[in-house]
Each structure stands twice: as C-alpha cells, then as structure tokens.
Amino acid sequence: MRIGAIEAGGTKFVCGIGDENGIVLDRVSFPTEQPEKTLGQVIAYFKDKQVEAIGVGTFGPIDIDPNSPTYGYVTTTPKPGWSNYPFLDTLKREFDVPFGWDTDVNAAAFGEATWGAAKGLDSVLYYTIGTGVGVGVYAEGKMVHGLVHPEGGHVLTRRHPDDAYEGFCPYHGDCFEGIAAGPAIERRWKVKGSELSEDHPAWRMEAFYIGQALANAILMISPKKIILGGGVMHQLQLFPLIREEVRSNLNGYVNAQAIVSGLDDYIVPPGLGDNAGLCGSIALGLQAWNQNR
C-alpha cells in the first residue's frame, strides 16, 4: 500500500511515501515559502505517485475541528501568507483520497505510538524542542484536540536562579518555549546550541526547564511514556539531566514503577529518529484510509 505523507514545518516541508508498516519508501524536502509556491511543489510531487491516502502533520496553530467552517486551515501564524490559509482544501481539490490532518507533534506522538518508542501504548506525549517547543498528546488511544489543540510549549516555568535571559516568546516572554527552545539557548549563551560543549552549564539550565515542564505534564496527563525530539534534543547528554530534574521535582509523589525506577525507559528519544514526523503523517494517512473503508 502507498500512503502519502506531508510533514509541514515552519522552515521546511518533507513529503514522502510510506507503506502500512510505516516504512518510508521515498522522501523529498523543500523550504517553506509562500503557500501557493510550497503547496504547488507538494501537489507536483504527489501527482504521479498513486497514493491511496494522504496524512498531513503540520505546524500551527491549525483548525482541526471537522465541524468548523475553517477546518483544515492554518489559523493565526505569523508566517507570511499562511495565516487563514485553506491548506487542506488546496490539497483536496487535487487528490480524491482520504486525508488525515493534525498538528505535527500530534502526528509524531501517533507515529511513535504506532511504530516507534511507544509502540503498543495507548498514551504518550511527544515534545519537539527546536526552533519552538511543541507538544503532541496521544491519550486513551486518540490524539487529544480539545478546544483547539494542546499548546504545551507555552506553559509557564519557574526561573532558574542564575538565568538573566528574558525569553523570546512574543506572547509570554519567558514561557517554556521562550526560555528553552533553540533560539533561547543561542541568545542566552551568544553561541548556537550545537557549538556548546557537552559539559557546558547551558545543558543543566536547559534540563532545569525541560524537567519542570515534564513534571507538570506527568501530573496533568499521566502519560505512559514521554518522547523528546527536535534539534536541541540531539544533545543526548540532556536525557540523564532531565530525568534527574523530573525525579527531584516529583519528589516521590507519583508512585509508579516508570517514575520510581524506570525513568531511563520513560523519558526517551524518538524510536523513529528523524523520521518521527514523517512516519506520524503516514500513520495519519493510514488511519484516514481505514476510517473511509
């Protein structure tokens, strides 16, 4: 079976073809520009690919309420041209196949629950810590949408006592994203995160913030696993530091084996690696196909 997948990011689009086992058969990528141009490239790519369904996991905010007149739109993004853009309708006009549509991070959570590090679990959180921070919530076997969709990147965090950086979120300043996403690291330390040494104090501070957000999420959602992806999490030395922060924040209160003695298997990198997003979109496409049978 051939399923089309679109991982629509703020900086680049990845399109690909996958099968029903989440195997990526083909992939291409291009920069995110004006929607007419970028979606034109997407349409041209899928034109002769004979896919049976297409899954879209996209940057947001987006409208994912099927009963809304603007279902399938990107809503309030500052990205030039994309605000109030009918993303999904533009594709539906070209391809008469079932479409799956969700946030990039919900898709990644779903992909990881289907084929990755959370395979077989009915509950997982997926964080991407990159240019921004996004959180996908998969709970009780479904992507969580709620009122809009979860925006756990913007939760408020307690300041680290040694941190003088004010945060870059245009809405909240020093919310989790504003204080911990890639650009915050770069502005605080005046050098790109990828250029900081493994033992630089930046990583303890980073783990301090991530550990708070995760402890709050564990208390709120009680996920069965937490997956951390995105560019910043290529710094694998963060994982033990984050687990330590989570343990210390929860301080024995959540009495589950995964927390008490299993944190190494509870807070983990994506099992699908850098394919987490694309595989998530394949999973969305497959789900849409199954629902239309």
Instruction: Give the DSSP per-residue string, 62-124.
Output: B---TTSTTTT-B-S--STTTTTB-HHHHHHTT--S-EEEEEHHHHHHHHHHHHSTTTT-S-E
Instruction: Note whether 291 binds ligand ADP by CB under 6 A.
Output: no
Among 27, 79, 119, 154, binds Zn ion (CB under 5 A): 154
Q: Residue 208 or 239: which CB sits closer to Zn ion?
A: 208
State the minimum distance, in angstroms, from the CB of residue 103 to ligand ADP. 13
State in Å, rounded, how far the first CA of the chain is from the last one: 14
Secondary structure of 118-146 in HEC code, one letter for each residue: CCCCCCEEEEEECCCEEEEEEECCEECCC
Helix or strand (DSSP H, E) at 177: helix 176-180
Stretch of 36-44, 78-86, 89-97, 161-169 lying at the interface with Zn ion (CB under 5 A): 161-169
Give the tokens for residue 246: 């989570």
Interface residues for ligand ADP in 189-208 (CB under 6 A)?
192-194
Among 49, 160, 172, 200, binds Zn ion (CB under 5 A): 172
Binding to ligand ADP by CB under 6 A, coded x per residue (else -) over 104-143, reads ------------------------x-xx------------
Q: Residue 156 or 196: which CB sits closer to Zn ion?
A: 156
Would you say 60 and 103 are in contact if contact means Cβ atoms under 8 Å apart? yes
Total residues in contact with ligand ADP, by rule CB under 6 A: 17
Which residues are at the interface with Zn ion (CB under 5 A)? 154, 169, 171-172, 175
